[in-house]
């Protein structure tokens, strides 16, 4: 049986509400759903809009029926064309109506706490408390169905590429690094704990050692960190790993899946995924998650102002962005921008209004007098600015300077994340380490199993902070979707990394013993990736928060307003788990 046949209406109904058309006129149909609205005209006539997951159809019923909002009813009757002049062009079923001969109330409903039609949107706490009502809305029905389509597209792509889906444990073992973990007490071994996995990282590497070659999983992950619009305690990622591959191979595999997703959801061919190095992303966009949907790229002005008298521009990096039409910004707005730049860590912000006409542009600014005519011309030339534009310049060390301008660029120009087009981007060659810890040891930027860039292996010990890694992020419209790397499969390189990180052999053994153990029995070269399905689905659904694509999400304080979690456990249950609660903290100032 085809999917279409099996998905057809059956049971109590012959058709779905939203699918009835003029071609069905004359048939006796039965439709089931919720009362979306009723329009009563006395005891002999009432119009009832019946809603199911496919849409709404108008039923014409006797006025005597007590059909209130959200009652669940079954209506049977002949489908007919609406009388001339009463067609409703606003809905797909607007040409027809069900002339009800039988109305069956399957379930009565109290008036809902807020209206399902979305005309006025209730605040999030109310929606979350009555999530089962909220999920009836067109918006949430659409969002969760988009998400299901995302999952299906991912599976199609993975399947096509020969990946095998393997489930890994939810009750895992503590790994004392990375995100804070959720702990699960053991009943059979009181005093011992499982943890919920922050990702199936180690498990999937073990599957490579086991010879599965290409693994994937649409995996639930849990991290006990603070929540955000794009972060929940539990989230879903496409997790994959492949053996005997280069990073380019991984990029292709992952790109195939996200492009399949974009294609499936939009029905259009998405722009190809572009690739740039971490360094390039920093120079051009001032961030490691560039939003490629708009210009305003950072411009290097070091050459233009080389040898300048202006002290503020005598710096390692002098960078600028150009705001089209920004010259009309008033003094107050410019001062606010300067404040913003300072808060972001810049020493200051120089603004230059581009004035004048064709061929004789000039710069207008409180600091213009410190710049020579030649320098001003060079700045205009380098930024490509025209009359009426505003040039914003920050000078200082390269990385912080770029980051400040990158943020200003977003403040001034970024569209909502879900706005099309969808511009996927690989950011590659991340540094292997980011800074040093209190003891002076480098800190792993990704995780300690990340393979260094082969060209940089030689200076691993001499100049670790300059070493690039074979790790990479996937970015969509300024959101980090996920990250991955080629892993270290050779014991000698792993030993050098652990030594640099200040992890002793004993410590490594106790932390990652079973992974290192597995590597002694024949580990293939391998690498992989993971990206957030919630984030991808949110963008595809046109939402700014992943809560809108999660059926039952938690609030920022980690509460489920509907289910009432978290809450206390009865003493008997604690005792069974071998747990005793610490006394509550003293009240502040008491």
Partner RNA sequence: GGACCUGUGGUGCAGCUCGGAGUGCACGCCGGCCUGUCAAGCCGGAGGUCGCGGGUUCAAAUCCCGUCAGGUCCGCCA
| Residues in touch with RNA (CB under 7 A) | 37, 39-45, 47, 49, 58, 60, 63, 68-69, 82-83, 85-88, 90-91, 94, 97, 111, 113-115, 119-126, 175, 177-180, 198-199, 201-202, 223, 225-231, 443-448, 545, 547, 555-557, 559, 561, 588
Q: Which is nearer to RNA, 108 or 164 (CB)?
A: 108
Whole-angstrom Cα distance, residue 349 to residue 409?
Answer: 13
The structure tokens listed for 560 are 């489920």
Residue environment code for 186-224, b if the CB has 16+ CB neighbours within 10 A, otherwise e: eeeeeeeebbbbbbbbbbbbbbbbeebbbbbbbbebbbe
Distance of closest approach, residue 492 Cβ to RNA, in angstroms: 21
Distance of closest approach, residue 278 Cβ to RNA, in angstroms: 15
Whole-angstrom Cα distance, residue 487 to residue 485?
Answer: 6
Q: Which is nearer to RNA, 287 or 308 (CB)?
A: 287
Residue 235, strand partner residues: 221
CA-closest candidate to residue 547, choices 72, 298, 276, 228: 228
Whole-angstrom Cα distance, residue 515 to residue 509?
Answer: 9
Q: Which is nearer to RNA, 230 or 260 (CB)?
A: 230
Distance of closest approach, residue 212 Cβ to RNA, in angstroms: 19
Whole-angstrom Cα distance, residue 277 to residue 99?
Answer: 64
Whole-angstrom Cα distance, residue 94 to residue 388?
Answer: 51
Distance of closest approach, residue 69 Cβ to RNA, in angstroms: 4
Q: Which is nearer to RNA, 107 or 360 (CB)?
A: 107
Q: Which is nearer to RNA, 139 or 231 (CB)?
A: 231
Q: Which is nearer to RNA, 102 or 381 (CB)?
A: 102
Distance of closest approach, residue 394 Cβ to RNA, in angstroms: 18
Whole-angstrom Cα distance, residue 17 to residue 52?
Answer: 6
Q: What angle do CA 122, 126, 127 make, to 5 degrees?
A: 70
Could you give the C-alpha distances from 375 to 302, 305, 307, 352, in angstroms and in order? 11, 6, 10, 13
Q: Which is nearer to RNA, 229 or 264 (CB)?
A: 229
Distance of closest approach, residue 87 Cβ to RNA, in angstroms: 6
Q: Which is nearer to RNA, 383 or 450 (CB)?
A: 450
Distance of closest approach, residue 273 Cβ to RNA, in angstroms: 23
Task: State the DSSP code for 523.
Answer: P
Distance of closest approach, residue 187 Cβ to RNA, in angstroms: 27
Distance of closest approach, residue 183 Cβ to RNA, in angstroms: 16
Residue 480, strand partner residues: 475
Q: Which class for 470: exposed (0-12), middle (13-18), buried (19 or more C-beta within 10 A)?
A: buried
Q: Which is nearer to RNA, 12 or 563 (CB)?
A: 563
Distance of closest approach, residue 120 Cβ to RNA, in angstroms: 4
CA-closest candidate to residue 115, choices 107, 127, 124: 127
Q: Which is nearer to RNA, 117 or 280 (CB)?
A: 117
Whole-angstrom Cα distance, residue 129 to residue 131?
Answer: 6
């Amino acid at each position: 049986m085809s999917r279409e046949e099996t998905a057809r209406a059956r049971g109590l109904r012959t058709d779905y509400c939203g699918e009835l058309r003029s071609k069905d006129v004359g048939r006796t149909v039965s439709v089931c759903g919720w009362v979306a609205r009723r329009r009563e005209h006395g005891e002999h006539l009432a119009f009832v809009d019946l809603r199911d997951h496919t849409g709404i159809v108008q039923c014409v019923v006797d006025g005597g029926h007590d059909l209130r909002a959200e009652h669940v009813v079954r209506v049977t009757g002949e489908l007919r064309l609406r009388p001339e002049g009463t067609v409703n062009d606003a809905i797909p079923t607007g040409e027809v109506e069900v002339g009800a001969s039988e109305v069956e109330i399957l379930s009565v409903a109290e008036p809902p706490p807020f209206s399902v039609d979305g005309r006025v949107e209730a605040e999030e706490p109310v929606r979350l408390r009555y999530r089962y009502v909220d999920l009836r809305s067109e918006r949430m029905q659409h969002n969760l169905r988009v998400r299901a389509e995302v999952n299906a597209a991912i599976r199609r792509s993975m399947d096509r590429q020969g990946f095998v889906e393997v489930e890994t444990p939810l009750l895992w073992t503590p790994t004392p690094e990375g995100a804070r973990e959720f702990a699960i007490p053991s009943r059979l071994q009181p005093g011992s704990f499982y943890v919920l996995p922050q990702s199936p990282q180690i498990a999937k590497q073990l599957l490579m050692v086991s010879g599965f070659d290409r693994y994937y999983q649409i995996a639930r992950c849990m991290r006990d960190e603070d929540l955000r619009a794009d972060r929940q305690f539990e989230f879903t990622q496409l997790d994959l790993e492949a053996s005997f591959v280069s990073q380019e191979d991984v990029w292709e595999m992952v790109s195939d899946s996200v492009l399949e997703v974009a294609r499936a959801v939009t029905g259009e061919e998405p722009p190809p995924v572009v690739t740039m190095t971490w360094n390039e992303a920093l120079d051009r966009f001032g961030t490691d998650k560039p939003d490629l949907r708009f210009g305003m790229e950072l411009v290097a002005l070091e050459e233009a102002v080389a040898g300048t008298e202006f002290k503020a521009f005598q710096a390692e990096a002098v960078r600028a962005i150009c705001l089209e039409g920004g010259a009309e910004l008033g003094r107050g707005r410019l001062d606010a921008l300067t404040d913003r730049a300072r808060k972001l860590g810049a020493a200051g912000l120089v603004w230059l209004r581009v004035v004048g006409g064709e061929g004789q542009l000039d710069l207008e600014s409180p600091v213009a007098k410190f710049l020579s005519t030649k320098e001003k011309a060079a700045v205009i030339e380098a930024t490509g600015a025209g009359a009426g534009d505003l040039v914003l310049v920050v000078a200082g060390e390269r990385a912080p300077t770029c980051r400040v301008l990158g943020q200003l660029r977003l403040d001034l120009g970024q569209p909502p994340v879900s706005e099309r087009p969808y511009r996927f981007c690989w950011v590659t060659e991340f540094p292997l380490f980011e800074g040093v810890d209190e003891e002076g040891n480098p800190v792993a930027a990704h995780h300690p199993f990340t393979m260094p860039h082969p060209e940089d292996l030689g200076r691993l010990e001499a100049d670790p902070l300059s070493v690039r890694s074979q790790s990479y992020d996937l970015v969509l419209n300024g959101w980090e979707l996920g990250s991955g790397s080629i892993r270290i499969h050779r014991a000698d390189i792993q030993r050098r990394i652990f030594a640099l990180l200040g992890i002793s052999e004993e410590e490594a053994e106790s932390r990652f013993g079973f992974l290192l153990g597995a590597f002694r029995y024949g580990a293939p070269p391998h690498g992989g990736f993971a990206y957030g399905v919630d984030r991808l689905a949110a963008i595809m659904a046109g939402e700014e928060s992943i809560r809108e694509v999660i059926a039952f999400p938690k609030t920022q304080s980690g509460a489920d307003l509907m289910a009432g979690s978290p809450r206390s456990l009865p003493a008997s249950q604690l005792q069974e788990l071998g747990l005793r609660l610490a006394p509550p903290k003293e009240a502040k100032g008491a």
